[in-house]
Each structure stands twice: as C-alpha cells, then as structure tokens.
Amino acid sequence: MKILVPVKRVVDANVKVRVAADQSGIDLSNVKMAMNPFCEIAVEEAVRLKEKGVADEVIAVTVGSEKCQEQLRTAMALGADRSIWVEADDDIEPLAIAKLLKALVEKESPDLVILGKQSIDGDNNQVGQMLGALCNMPQGTFAFNLKIENGRAIVSREVDGGEQVVSLSLPAIVTTDLRLNEPRYAKLPDIMKAKKKPLESLIPADLGVSVTKSLKVLNVREPEGRKAGVIVNSAEELLDKLRNEAKVIQ
C-alpha cells in the first residue's frame, strides 16, 4: 500500500503573527516557519502504518516556493521514503493545490492520501475534501482513529456532537485531527539520512495544471484588540461585578 502525504510550510504555531503595515497581508519576515501541525500528524500516521507493515511506501509532497523543501526533508526525517516538490507561489488557493494533488494522485496511484484537516495560516479546511471530490474518492475528515481492515479504511471522526465512524473504500482521503497521534521528533541520524532520500521537483505545467486565482485579498487588518480589564480580589467581588456592573448574570 502506498500513502501520499501532502504537507504545508506555515508559520510556527507558537508565533503571534503581525499584520503588515500596508494591510496587504501578514508580515512574514524573520518569522519562524514549520510544518503545519496537522501535517506532522499526517506524516506520523502514514509512517506508523508503514511500521506496522500495512503500508510499504510513504511519499511526502508539498506545493510552494523553494524553502518548502525544508518541510519535505523534515517529513523524510520522520520516515517518509521520498518526496515531491511542486514549485509554485506560496499563496495559491486550496482548489489549485487540490488540482495539483489530483494530478499527483493520478501519477502515483496511492491507496491512501492523508492530509492535515486545516492549515493554521489560512485556516481553510478545504484541500482534503476538494481532492476527494476531484478524484471521486471517499473522505474521512477530522480523523482521531484510522484502521485499515479488509481493504477498507475505517475512520473515527470528530464531529460537533461527539464521534462518528465511517468505512471507506480505497483509495481514500483522510484528514487528521489533533488527537489522531502524537508526532515523534526527528532524530539526528534520521535527519542526516533524509538528506539522501529522493526529492523530485516539478512545476504545475509538468502536471498539466494551470494555477489560477478567483479570490482577491482586498486587505488584511488586525482585529479589534481586547484590553485587560480589572483584577478582582475575591469570588464575592467577581459575582458583584458580573451582576451589577457587567449585568451578565442575575
């Protein structure tokens, strides 16, 4: 079984981003970048399936500018066997990414594509589902448990009211939620080994995809900030304030 894992380079989850002064976007100069946390979970899940003997090859892919190759090296240090970099602008839209991934799915014929549920920069939560539609594959989104049984993927999903289980024919799309697993850290020898693993590079034209945009960002601004209020000294004072000042409880 072959698993394709799309990963994205994003601002590190611990960074508090700043809006650029001209409101054109986020100021990314000198900001720490990392693999999207949900993609780390996707890589980990794929590697665990390989370690269990369920999968025999894990391929990491990313779409983006040259620097994104760092995240492919990370994925290979974590256990991916090889990787594919599709060179493109960093701000292309989820649909275009899904189209590029579809072309790679056709090229590689994976049995499973495991993606993050959401990139923490754009907070889109779209690419996996879009890829499912484009490839006419079933999807198990927001997965917290994944089993491969009798040629099907059994996915336990986080839903609003609790949990849901679906059974999917293969090939299938799975998107990861935080509870699916806890990603390992790459060890130094693995980081060294990853440098020698194959990294193929392509451009959208190689895949027959033309990248277009249909959304225009008119501006990006900071939300109205909240100010710290007052510190109260006791539970009693707190209740008094809530009742008589804020008037939010009886």
Ligand X SMILES: Nc1ncnc2c1ncn2[C@@H]1O[C@H](COP(=O)(O)O)[C@@H](O)[C@H]1O
Ligand Y SMILES: Cc1cc2nc3c(=O)[nH]c(=O)nc-3n(C[C@H](O)[C@H](O)[C@H](O)COP(=O)(O)OP(=O)(O)OC[C@H]3O[C@@H](n4cnc5c(N)ncnc54)[C@H](O)[C@@H]3O)c2cc1C
Task: Provide the binding-site residues for ligand Y, judged by CB under 6 A.
Answer: 13, 37, 120
Check: CB of residue 113 under 8 Å from CB of residue 4. Answer: yes
Q: From the centroid of its chain, how far is CA 202? A: 21
Q: Give the C-alpha separation, 40 to 31, whole Å.
A: 19
Q: Which of 44, 75, 94, 174 binds ligand X (CB under 6 A)?
A: 94
Nearest approach, Cβ of residue 121 and ligand Y (Å): 11
Nearest approach, Cβ of residue 113 and ligand X (Å): 9
Residue 11 binding partner per list another protein, ligand Y, ligand X, none, with a CB distance cut-off of 5 to 8 Å that depends on partner kind: another protein
- How many other C-beta atoms lie within 10 A of the C-beta of residue 133? 12
Judged by CB, which is closer to another protein: 18, or 67? 18
Q: Which of 11, 55, 95, 115 binds ligand X (CB under 6 A)?
A: 115
Find the binding residues for ligand X in span 30-89 (CB under 6 A). 36, 38-39, 42, 61-64
Determine if 6 is a binding residue for ligand X (CB under 6 A). yes
Nearest approach, Cβ of residue 238 and ligand X (Å): 39
Judged by CB, which is closer to another protein: 124, or 201? 124
Q: Which of 3, 4, 8, 183 binds ligand X (CB under 6 A)?
A: 8
Single out the segment in contact with ligand X by CB under 6 A; choices: 124-132, 194-202, 203-211, 236-244: 124-132
Determine if 124 is a binding residue for ligand X (CB under 6 A). yes
Which bin fits 211, alpha (ψ -120 to 50), beta or left (φ > 0)? beta
Burial per residue of 21-43, b for 16 or more beta-carbon CB atoms within 10 angstroms, e otherwise:
eeeeeeeeeeeeebbbbbbbbbb
For residue 115, give Cα distances in angstroms to 22, 122, 144: 33, 15, 13
Residue 29 binding partner per list another protein, ligand Y, ligand X, none, with a CB distance cut-off of 5 to 8 Å that depends on partner kind: none
Residue 115 binding partner per list ligand X, another protein, ligand Y, none, with a CB distance cut-off of 5 to 8 Å that depends on partner kind: ligand X
Among the listed residues 18, 38, 36, 37, the one whose alpha carbon sits nearest the alpha carbon of residue 28: 18
Q: Give the C-alpha separation, 6 to 116, whole Å.
A: 8
Beta bridge partners of 155: 146, 166
Length, in residues, of the chain: 250
Q: Which two tokens stand for residue 84?
A: 């594919």
Nearest approach, Cβ of residue 92 and ligand X (Å): 7
Q: Give the C-alpha separation, 112 to 6, whole Å.
A: 11
Give the residues lining the site for ligand X (CB under 6 A): 6-8, 36, 38-39, 42, 61-64, 94, 97, 115-116, 118-119, 122, 124-128
